[in-house]
Amino acid sequence: MSAVIAALRAAGCVFAEDEAELLLATARTPGDLAAMVERRVAGHPLEHVLGWAEFGGLRVSVDPGVFVPRRRTEFLLGEAIALGRRAAERAIRAGRRAVVVDLCCGSGAVGAALAGALGRVPGTPGGPAGAPGDVPGGVLGDAPGCAPSRVELHAADIEPAAVRCARRNVAAAGGQVYQGDLFAPLPDRLRGRIDVLTANVPYVPTEEVGLLPPEAREFEPLVALDGGADGLDVLRRVTAAAPRWLAPGGHLLVETGERQAAQAVETFRRSGLRPRVAVSDELWATVVIGTLPPGQAGSGPRPGIR
């Protein structure tokens, strides 16, 4: 243990003791441990070395080359849960399942955690006991009281490695994952039916990607980080097409930077969504939420913009 801590500390790991405990608990053999320490010392993200990350109270698989879910994104998750619970209640009264879609899904952590929370029946073991925005607890695919039939979950990403990883995580939540560019791979039958649409889009301006920590810029896919000249290229594309996919009263939630929020809000408004901004000072997180007014269901950009 002490040798592992010393190696990690020498490599600049701030939480060397905590990381050493995780590595020791995960390694199956001394050889595994040595290889894991070597990778971590070389700068690989801890989550890639372990093969998993804690997110929203769940342990989700995270493969090498896949975007690592950030703790600040748990704020987006909490906002989505609050909106999703109300949507799920309306769906149940209408005799259907709530439809949840996770775009730019990466490992599928957001969609899996959201579906798990919405699938739980209040009052049962493992069901939601706190405030509407509480993040769920439990282990992915292993939570008592889970009722996947309450939620129809879909996720998509353009990166093949992310799709392979997400399929394991999302399958445990009863969902499906597609490979392709944003909405393009989704089944057409979802148009006008999505109750909650989350999109953890890249929002780092191109010129600032080089300022990211080496763990991110060297070991995570550039497509998951680079948001274009002002960081909003992908957000604009998602927002432009969202009204064609959202159900009446459906919600789009996108994480962005604090300084980009005002421009993102205007982008939402121009697309026909009613925007608002939610901020967590604790997590340094900013989420823009857009709701499709019932009278605008099925509206959106001209054909050809997916």
What confidence score (pLDDT) does residue 148 get? 44
- On average, the pLDDT of the chain sits at 88
What confidence score (pLDDT) does residue 257 get? 94
Phi, psi for 178 (deg, rounded to 5): -125, 150
Domain-embedded: residue 121 = yes
Residue 128 has pLDDT above 90, yes or no: no
Under the banding of pLDDT at 50, 70 and 90, the label for residue 129 is very low
- Are residues 19 and 146 located together in one domain of the fold? no
Count CB neighbours of 21 within 10 A. Answer: 14
How confident is the model over 140-160, as a mean pLDDT? Answer: 70
Residue 23 has pLDDT above 50, yes or no: yes
- Nearest partner of 253 among 241, 268, 266, judged by Cα: 268
What confidence score (pLDDT) does residue 306 get? 40
Domain count, the chain: 2
For 149, the domain range is 64-296
- Are residues 147 and 91 located together in one domain of the fold? yes
Phi, psi for 99 (deg, rounded to 5): -105, 125
Residue 2 has pLDDT above 70, yes or no: yes
pLDDT more than 70, % of the chain: 87
Determine the Cα–Cα distance for residues 97 and 91; give it in Å rounded to an integer: 6
Count CB neighbours of 127 within 10 A. Answer: 17
Domain-embedded: residue 284 = yes
Compute the residue count for the chain. Answer: 306
Under the banding of pLDDT at 50, 70 and 90, the label for residue 134 is very low
Residue 124 has pLDDT above 60, yes or no: no
- Are residues 230 and 158 located together in one domain of the fold? yes
Domain-embedded: residue 176 = yes
- Are residues 78 and 191 located together in one domain of the fold? yes
Pairing of strands 246-256, 285-291: antiparallel
Contact predicate 267/232, CB 8 Å? yes
- Are residues 140 and 245 located together in one domain of the fold? yes
pLDDT tens sequence across 224-273: 999 999 999 999 999 999 999 999 999 999 999 999 999 999 999 999 99
- Are residues 103 and 12 located together in one domain of the fold? no
Give the DSSP H or E segment for 289: strand 285-291
Domain-embedded: residue 224 = yes
Quick one: residue 180, left, alpha or beta (phi over 0 = left, psi -120 to 50 = alpha)? left
- Are residues 239 and 114 located together in one domain of the fold? yes
Determine the Cα–Cα distance for residues 85 and 100; give it in Å rounded to an integer: 11
How confident is the model over 278-289, as a mean pLDDT? Answer: 97
pLDDT more than 90, % of the chain: 79
pTM: 0.86
- Are residues 211 and 268 located together in one domain of the fold? yes
What confidence score (pLDDT) does residue 125 get? 38
- Are residues 18 and 76 located together in one domain of the fold? no
Amino acid identity for residue 166 in this structure: A
Report the C-alpha dihedral over residues 192, 106, 171, 128, rounded to 10 degrees.
-80
The DSSP code sequence of 184-245 is: TTS-GGGTTTEEEEEE----B-GGGGGGS-HHHHHHS-GGGTB--TTS-HHHHHHHHHHHHH
What confidence score (pLDDT) does residue 140 get? 42
- Are residues 113 and 212 located together in one domain of the fold? yes
Domain-embedded: residue 49 = no
What confidence score (pLDDT) does residue 174 get? 87
- Are residues 121 and 81 located together in one domain of the fold? yes
CATH of the domain at 207: 3.40.50.150
What confidence score (pLDDT) does residue 253 get? 99
- Are residues 111 and 33 located together in one domain of the fold? no
pLDDT tens sequence across 285-296: 999 999 999 876
Domain-embedded: residue 259 = yes
pLDDT tens sequence across 191-232: 999 999 999 999 999 999 999 999 999 999 999 999 999 999
Q: Which two tokens stand for residue 145?
A: 């009281």
